[in-house]
């Protein structure tokens, strides 16, 4: 048997290795071991540099045009850096530089490479699906209430069993909510791979992802996959106009809150969604965050200061029902408004929304459907937890690349529409000319 190694297979291997390290960065073990996270981050940066050196000559064509289309990212960077350097220079750090490098690399360069090489793109979707099977043993261990497995710390939330009869778990990941979002991303990826290949093994991967999502008991992840699947279904049945799509997303997010009283009358839904807990204190945290934003509406309080402020005002937040000292405000966009002001926060919203709205073509291709679905998943998830573009956690990396893909492919569709319309020439209509027939001369 002859083993053939191609450039694409090497590129895919590097991507899988980067993703594996980013998944390790998101584990409970890495969170408890600060030095491990430092080494993992350095390894990821090194592999990203190696990937660039290995692939740049192959994919450099068209990169400048793609970079111009990434204006939401550059706008966000410009506003963020201006705010920090002018008003919060003391919060500037090399972490910010790394954050911007990974953001630009994933949103622009990796997305461009995958858009040029379908095999590489499919490989990326595959690794986002297979992660469900990789985490499955730790999920089962967490369900059993075991908090250490082969030396790996396992996140267990036994309190949730009083509602559902099942312990919630994050498996080897640092939070149950992290596992939920990871599985919400894995579900459309696994389904895409099944539709492309028709192989039954991907149905098992899909089942593992659904199982992991259910066991995480993350209500934010439930909301994300519900909205994303609904949008994918409606995409072929509603107008592709951006305003209609945005209104549909907002309506689907708001609908469950309007139906809260009705759902509370169904015991299964009331227990599984823990409706008696409301938003688990998020309302109090968001209310307090709005006061912080009101005090510094345009410049914020400094880069990544949300987590510091939750520690400083821990007592006040506890009285308001928010018990997450050291964390941000469980909403990416609110946290950005606290950190850098409303203008930067709005530009960050556009970074999530514009790529989704650019997708105006009703592509039946499973890959395009997958990209569309994951993009909506990360947008909705960002309303309930931090979904930072540019981080080195696996979820942050997936968010960056999938949104970048939606932006690149949506921009390409727009260019093709313009070129197509330019080729169509209007038919020429000539004025009808009536030529009088020669008169017959009659002579006597």
Taking only the tens of pLDDT, the chain with its 444 residues reads 466 778 999 999 999 999 999 999 999 988 888 788 889 999 999 999 999 999 999 999 889 989 999 999 999 999 999 999 999 888 888 888 888 999 999 999 999 999 999 999 999 999 999 999 999 999 999 999 888 888 889 999 888 888 888 999 999 999 899 999 999 999 999 999 999 998 999 999 999 999 999 999 999 999 999 999 988 888 767 666 777 878 888 888 888 777 777 777 778 888 888 877 777 778 888 989 999 999 999 999 988 888 888 888 888 888 888 877 667 788 999 999 999 999 999 999 999 999 988 877 666 789 999 999 999 999 999 998 888 888 889 999 999 999 999 999 988 887 777 777 666 544 444 444 333 444 444 443
152: number of Cβ within 10 Å = 15
Question: How many CA atoms within 13 Å lie on the side-chain side of 52?
Answer: 14
Domain residue spans of the chain: 7-60+93-278+360-418
Handedness of CA 404, 215, 129, 233 (dihedral sign): negative
Query: Could you give the CA distance from residue 410 to residue 408 in angstroms, rounded to a whole number?
Result: 6
Helices marked H in 265-341: 267-272, 282-295, 306-312, 314-319, 332-340
279: number of Cβ within 10 Å = 16
Which residues are within 8 A (CB) of 254 and not within 5 positions of it... i.e. 6 or more apart?
Answer: none
Exposure string for 353-362, b = 16+ CB within 10 A, e = fewer: bbbbbbbebe
Question: How many CA atoms within 13 Å lie on the side-chain side of 266?
Answer: 8
Question: Global pTM?
Answer: 0.90
**Rg of the chain on CA atoms, in Å:** 26
Query: What totals of helices (H) and strands (E) does the chain contain, helices first?
Result: 22, 4
Tally of residues, the chain: 444
* CB-based contact 7:56 (threshold 8 Å): no
Q: Measured at the alpha carbon of residue 212, what is the angle toward residues 206 and 214, in degrees to the nearest 5?
A: 105
Query: Could you give the CA distance from residue 42 to residue 339 in angstroms, rounded to a whole number?
Result: 26
* CB-based contact 395:183 (threshold 8 Å): no
């Amino acid at each position: 048997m002859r083993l053939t190694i191609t450039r694409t297979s090497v590129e895919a291997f590097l991507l899988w290795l980067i993703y594996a390290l980013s998944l390790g960065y998101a584990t409970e073990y890495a969170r408890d071991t600060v030095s491990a996270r430092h080494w993992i981050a350095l390894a990821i940066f090194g592999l990203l540099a190696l990937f660039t050196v290995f692939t740049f000559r192959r994919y450099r064509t068209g990169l400048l045009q793609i970079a111009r289309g990434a204006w939401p990212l550059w706008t966000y960077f410009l506003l963020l850096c201006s705010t920090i350097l002018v008003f919060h220079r003391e919060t500037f750090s090399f972490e910010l530089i790394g954050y911007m490098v990974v953001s630009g690399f994933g949103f622009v360069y990796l997305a461009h490479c995958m858009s040029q090489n379908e095999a590489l793109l499919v490989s990326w979707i595959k690794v986002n699906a297979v992660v469900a099977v990789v985490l499955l043993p730790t999920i089962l261990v967490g369900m059993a209430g075991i908090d250490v497995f082969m030396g790996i710390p396992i996140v267990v939330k036994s309190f949730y069993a009083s509602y559902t009869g099942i312990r919630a778990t994050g498996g080897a990941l640092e939070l149950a909510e992290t596992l939920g979002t990871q599985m919400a991303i894995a579900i459309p990826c696994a389904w895409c791979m099944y539709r492309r290949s028709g192989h039954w093994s991907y149905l098992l991967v899909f089942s593992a992802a659904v199982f992991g999502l259910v066991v995480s008991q993350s209500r934010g992840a439930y909301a994300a996959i519900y909205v994303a699947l609904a949008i994918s279904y409606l995409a072929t049945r509603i107008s592709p106009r951006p305003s209609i799509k945005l209104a549909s997303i907002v309506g689907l997010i708001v609908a469950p809150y309007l139906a809260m009283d009705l759902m509370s009358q169904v015991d299964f839904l009331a227990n599984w969604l823990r409706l008696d807990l409301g938003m688990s204190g998020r309302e109090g945290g968001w209310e307090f965050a709005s006061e912080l934003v009101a005090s510094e509406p345009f410049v914020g309080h400094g880069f990544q200061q949300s987590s510091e402020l939750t520690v400083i005002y821990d007592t006040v937040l506890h009285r308001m029902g928010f018990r997450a000292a050291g964390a941000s405000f469980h909403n990416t966009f609110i946290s950005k408004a606290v950190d850098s002001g409303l203008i930067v926060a709005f530009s960050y919203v556009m970074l999530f929304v514009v790529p989704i709205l650019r997708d105006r073509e009703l592509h039946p291709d499973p890959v395009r459907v997958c990209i569309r679905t994951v993009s909506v998943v990360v947008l909705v998830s960002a309303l309930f937890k931090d979904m930072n573009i540019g981080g080195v956690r696996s979820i942050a990396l997936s968010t960056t690349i999938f949104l970048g893909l939606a932006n690149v492919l949506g921009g390409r569709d727009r260019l093709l529409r313009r070129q197509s319309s330019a080729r169509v020439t209007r038919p020429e209509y000539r004025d009808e000319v009536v030529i009088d027939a020669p008169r017959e001369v009659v002579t006597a």
